[in-house]
Structure 1
Amino acid sequence: MSYVNNIRMFVRVYELGNMSAAARDQRTSPAVASARISELEKHLGVRLFNRTTRSLQATENGRIFFDGARKILDSIDEAEAAVMDVTQNPRGTIFVAAPLGIGRRLIAPHVPMFKDLYPQIEVRLRLSDRSIDVVSEGIDVAFHLGLLDDSTLKVQLIADCPRLLCAAPSYIERRGMPLDGAQLVAERHDCLNLRFPGAKEFQWTLETPEGPRRFEISGPYESDDGDVLTGWALDGRGIVMKPIFDVADHLRAGRLVPVATATPPLPTQLSSLSQHRRLKDPKVRLFTEFMAGKIKEEMRRATLG
């Protein structure tokens, strides 16, 4: 398997364009990654990368070899998946990505149960509210909250997610209850913003009697962590837009209350994203189906009806 491992390393170095990143992806050191590439180059009798201390660039031979190498690995993965499917003994490692709130509340609590059912499958969970590049980061399945206009990935809808604007009673007592988006803007209410590097000015798209409309909102607080925004809202610092499942317990307990209910936010969607070839792997398919079922159960419990 050493030759196959060398090919896997080459493919990840090529895809990521960085030896250290590929080493991390393959759970090894940069020195081992470099040695595997050198061993592969020696075997082939050609240089695959031009390497300096500051850059790494694929050679023409490297670009040619990549296409065939990728096909080889896909064939091996499909063959292994077919055998595991027949033996009903899936094994290996799954790399999973999810937004912080989704991961903490809907994914992480069920990972141990999945592990108990399939002890030979290891789950590596990566939680972040930043945008994830499924292909370059070697992710098997990513959970995404939001509408997708277009994607080269396999998208599987898990659930529609109604959203609302909400705030703590202490905020309402201090600033008043906005009835709709227009009042929200006119009275310059403090809106808690989910912002990432490079994000544009903030707008909330709300449903009005005339149809969806964008309202430019502002506020003194912003973060790239949705749970931080919830914490600020609970502390009476402003108004936050949230999927109902994410704040259902706070709403039931009265710690948060709906605001601007005449113009609610448009609903969003929770989906799973995978490369098409990855879904042929039984362990990835099993994990995706298992989590989709658990998420739907959690969503039903979180409804406010």
Structure 2
Amino acid sequence: MAYLDNIRTFIRVYELGNMSSAARDMRISAAVASARISQLEEHLGVRLFQRTTRMLNPTEQGNIFYPGARKILDAVDEAEAEVNEVTLVPRGILHVSAPLGVGRRLIAPEAAAFRAEYPLIKIRLRLSDRKIDLAMEGLDVAFFLGIPEDSSLRIRKIADCQRVLCAAPAYIAARGTPDSIDALRTKHDCLNLRFPGATEFQWSLQTRDGVKRIDVSGPFECDDGDILTDWALQGQGIIMKPLFEVSDHLKSGRLVQVLPAHPPVPIQMACLYSHRRKQDPKARLFIDFMVARMTKSMGEIVL
């Protein structure tokens, strides 16, 4: 097991490019991570990383060793998955990511119910609205909204989520209601979700002539979708959000829908998982459980 631990540590250091980040990810100290790398280097008789006070880069031998090490761990994980499936006692740690709104409103509320059914599975949930790299971040399952960029992963579609444009009554009272797409673009403040690496900075709205993509602008941008909702509630502008994220605010009247004749194009909700020959049973159980609960929850939300 010590040798496997050393290989796991090498892979996380290689993928994250930083000893401290890898140690935090694995919940060990940086000293333990460094010691494991040193043990592995001593066993192989080569240096796997060039270390300086500021940088850590893989050597040629490290680059050669990584693909084989990755295959070793994948094979071990698949073997463990087969054993778990035969014994019907799935166990272990499951690393899951999701956008903030999806995680807070649809996944986190159901986590306790999942643990009640499968008490030997531990959940590590990370929430972020930025793009996630499944392999580089050591994730087993990644829920997302939109279109995935990595075609090497398996995808399970959950639903097409209805989206709405909405604003606070205070904003409408001060600025008026946009009566056209052009008015939305030229006369109103729109609150945008933006983060490093984001590729979509336009809103896609439905018209009689098809989808129209427009550039919008406003005083605030953020990489946290819930903060955009908070700003909208304060009367700072118009937001485009999945309906499940703002339905309670719409029902209470704290937000009102705008431009209902030109609703945003629905956005796909799905989850990604690794393309292994044998899927980890705890990942499959978690996906099946959450997809059923999420589908039911979203089916109950209407304008």
TM-score, scaled relative to structure 2: 0.94
State the alpha-carbon separation in 1 of the partners of residues 215 and 106 from structure 2: 31
Q: What per-residue deviation string (whole Å, max 9, x for no partner) do you get for residues 198-218 of structure 1?
A: 658942111122211122212
State the alpha-carbon separation in 2 of the partners of residues 85 and 109 from structure 1: 27
State the alpha-carbon separation in 2 of the partners of residues 83 and 72 from structure 1: 17
State the alpha-carbon separation in 2 of the partners of residues 279 and 194 from structure 1: 37
1:278–1:94 Cα change, 3 Å: farther
In the other structure, the counterpart of 1:272 is 271
| More off after superposition, 15-24 vs 196-205 | 196-205
Matches within 5 A, 1:98-117: 98-117=98-117
Matches within 5 A, 1:44-55: 44-55=44-55
> Are 1:253 and 2:256 counterparts?
no
**1:173 CA displacement:** 2.1
State the alpha-carbon separation in 2 of the partners of residues 125 and 14 from structure 1: 23
In the other structure, the counterpart of 1:242 is 241
State the alpha-carbon separation in 2 of the partners of residues 147 and 166 from structure 1: 24
Q: What per-residue deviation string (whole Å, max 9, x for no partner) do you get for residues 215-272 of structure 1?
A: 2212112222111111222222221101111111122222222111222111101110
State the alpha-carbon separation in 1 of the partners of residues 129 and 77 from structure 2: 30
Matches within 5 A, 1:111-190: 111-148=111-148, 151-186=151-186, 188-190=187-189
Q: Which amino acid aligns with 1:19?
A: M
Q: Which amino acid aligns with 1:226?
A: G
1:204–1:57 Cα change, 3 Å: same
> Are 1:74 and 2:67 counterparts?
no
**1:278 CA displacement:** 8.9
**1:148 CA displacement:** 3.3
**1:88 CA displacement:** 0.9
Q: Give secondary structure in 1 for the equivalent of 2:213.
A: strand
Aligned-CA RMSD value: 1.9
2:99–2:128: 8 Å Cα contact kept in structure 1? yes
State the alpha-carbon separation in 1 of the partners of residues 277 and 219 from structure 2: 43
1:15–1:149 Cα change, 3 Å: closer
1:140–1:278: 8 Å Cα contact kept in structure 2? no
> Are 1:203 and 2:188 counterparts?
no
In the other structure, the counterpart of 1:287 is 286
State the alpha-carbon separation in 2 of the partners of residues 61 and 275 from structure 1: 26
In the other structure, the counterpart of 1:30 is 30
1:23–1:33: 8 Å Cα contact kept in structure 2? yes
State the alpha-carbon separation in 2 of the partners of residues 197 and 67 from structure 1: 28
In the other structure, the counterpart of 1:42 is 42
Q: Give secondary structure in 2 for the equivalent of 1:237.
A: coil
State the alpha-carbon separation in 2 of the partners of residues 57 and 288 from structure 1: 36
1:140–1:107 Cα change, 3 Å: same
In the other structure, the counterpart of 1:10 is 10
1:162–1:244: 8 Å Cα contact kept in structure 2? yes
In the other structure, the counterpart of 2:261 is 262
Q: Give secondary structure in 1 for the equivalent of 2:134.
A: coil
Name the % identity: 61
Q: What per-residue deviation string (whole Å, max 9, x for no partner) do you get for residues 20-47 of structure 1?
A: 2221222111111111111112222222
Q: Which runs of 5+ in 1 are unaligned?
A: none
**1:149 CA displacement:** 5.7
2:100–2:128: 8 Å Cα contact kept in structure 1? yes
1:180–1:261: 8 Å Cα contact kept in structure 2? no
Q: Which runs of 5+ in 2 are unaligned?
A: none
| More off after superposition, 15-24 vs 82-91 | 15-24
1:74–1:200 Cα change, 3 Å: closer
2:131–2:198: 8 Å Cα contact kept in structure 1? no
State the alpha-carbon separation in 2 of the partners of residues 44 and 298 from structure 1: 52
**1:59 CA displacement:** 2.5
State the alpha-carbon separation in 1 of the partners of residues 197 and 61 from structure 2: 37
| More off after superposition, 148-157 vs 106-115 | 148-157
Q: Give secondary structure in 2 for the equivalent of 1:82.
A: helix
State the alpha-carbon separation in 2 of the partners of residues 278 and 100 from structure 1: 30
